[in-house]
Structure 1
């Protein structure tokens, strides 16, 4: 799958939502073949990344703490609620 552009306004919204929850943010490029690559052809999309311990990702040793998973889910929930208004 080729890389696709995600929606800049949604990237901004992810960042603003995370900051509003007191979380740190870092914009990172991703060349991985995520579902967003398929969705972007039909609708605006973006991705919310959460930290993996020791930076290990896409590997059997990948681990993300329950707290970081909850934080990512809360960013998604708040964004969905905002977009629904």
Structure 2
């Protein structure tokens, strides 16, 4: 899914392929004190990261 988020991806993307994993925040609020993502959604994001690393490891 295309994103206009830059973060550190802007720099690392200059030297290698990269991707980002997004998890939802309540009300769509991010980068603010009131940002909240449930522990369950954080765990789902971590599971996506784990599966991605496992797949990449198998390919390499």
- Structure 2-normalised TM-score? 0.87
Once residues 63 and 28 of structure 1 are traced to their aligned partners in structure 2, the CA distance between those partners, rounded to angstroms, is: 23
Matches within 5 A, 1:38-77: 38-77=11-50
Once residues 49 and 77 of structure 1 are traced to their aligned partners in structure 2, the CA distance between those partners, rounded to angstroms, is: 14
Residue correspondences, number: 58
* Cα distance, 1:73–1:58 mapped onto 2, change above 3 Å: same
The Cα RMSD (Å) is 1.1
Unaligned ranges ≥5, structure 1: 1-26
Unaligned ranges ≥5, structure 2: none
Q: Specify which structure has the bigger relative contact order, considering alpha-carbon pairs within 8 angstroms and separated by 6 or more residues.
A: 1
* Cα distance, 1:63–1:28 mapped onto 2, change above 3 Å: farther
3-state SS in 1 of match to 2:11: helix
- Structure 1-normalised TM-score? 0.63
